[in-house]
Amino acid sequence: MVNCERTRELLNAYLDGELSPERRAKVDEHLRACGACTDVRSQWLRLNRAIGSLPGAKVPDGFARRVRQAAEAGRALRVGRMGRRVRLFGDALTRIAAVFMAVAGVAVGMAMGWTSAAANGHATASDRMESEGIALQTDMPVAMPEDSLSDVYLAFVIDEE
């Protein structure tokens, strides 16, 4: 025979008809002998009835027909737009072109980034530091653009003023 704690754990499944016949028989046996658990079962039953009393939705007129029309319109739209289906990266030529474009884009980006203050002929604070014999361990770029925040900071640090 199961005890009260176990019976109450099983009550939900018991009321939902989900227990095996053997387990159901054990719960039945306990409920016959236990008024407290019988009260708990009654509470669950009242709750189940209250939940089940809620009304459902009304089916709008013509719902199925509208769904069919939407489905048919969707199919017509897909065929009409494309004519011939084109899949992104679907054919070898498109894939090759995509790779080429990606490589070209990276190369152009790198070429545009290859500038330095030295190349531009500006003396930056870091240049002045070097001329003063001051070594500064930093993980900032050594060549800082003139009047950049980094350049101003370094000028402050080496007390140009």
Q: Which residues bind other proteins (CB under 8 A)?
A: 9, 12-13, 16, 18, 43-44, 46-48, 50-60, 63-68, 70-72, 74
48 vs 138, which CB is nearer to other proteins? 48
Other CB atoms within 10 Å distance of the CB of residue 72:
10
CB of 2 to other proteins, least distance (A): 16
The C-alpha atoms of residue 100 and residue 33 are separated, in whole angstroms, by 81
57 vs 93, which CB is nearer to other proteins? 57
Contact 145, 151 (CB under 8 A): yes
The C-alpha atoms of residue 124 and residue 152 are separated, in whole angstroms, by 9
47 vs 107, which CB is nearer to other proteins? 47
CB of 113 to other proteins, least distance (A): 40
CB of 44 to other proteins, least distance (A): 7
Helix (H) or strand (E) holding 160: none
CB of 40 to other proteins, least distance (A): 10
Contact 42, 74 (CB under 8 A): no
